[in-house]
């Protein structure tokens, strides 16, 4: 496998993992918020808040991964 092919595969893996990271972080936030809502009787507020926090955390971590990848190419 030549270097160009390897680079393309690395970039494809990074893009797919970034999308999965945002999805998983959002679902974890939703799960935690829903669980807290069921325990505290605050439905649906904590599910909403934790879903937004999970989404923000996923986007932040994705941006960090992408920026590190860009820096390592230089």
Residue 71 corresponds to which tokens in the numbers above?
């820096």
Who's near 51: CB < 8 A, 6+ residues apart? 26, 29, 30, 33
Specify the number of domains making up the chain.
1
Can you give 41-65 as a three-state secondary structure string?
A: CCCCHHHHHHHHHHHHHHHHHHHHH
At residue 74, the pLDDT reads 65
Mean pLDDT over 13-23 rounds to 92
Closest CA to 58 of 21, 7, 16, 32: 21
31-48 pLDDT, tens digit per residue, is 999 999 999 999 999 999
pLDDT grade for 1, boundaries at 50, 70 and 90: low
The domain containing residue 31 runs over which residues? Answer: 3-73
Q: What pTM value is reported for the model?
A: 0.86
d(CA 47, CA 31): 7
Q: What is the mean pLDDT of the chain?
A: 92
Share of the chain above pLDDT 90, in %: 68
């Amino acid at each position: 496998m030549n270097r160009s092919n390897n680079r393309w595969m690395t970039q494809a893996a990074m893009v797919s993992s970034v999308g999965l990271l945002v999805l998983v972080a959002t679902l974890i936030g939703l799960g935690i918020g829903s669980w807290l809502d069921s325990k505290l009787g605050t439905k649906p507020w904590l599910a909403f808040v934790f879903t937004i926090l999970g989404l923000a955390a996923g986007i932040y971590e994705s941006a960090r991964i992408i920026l590190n990848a860009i820096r390592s190419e230089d």
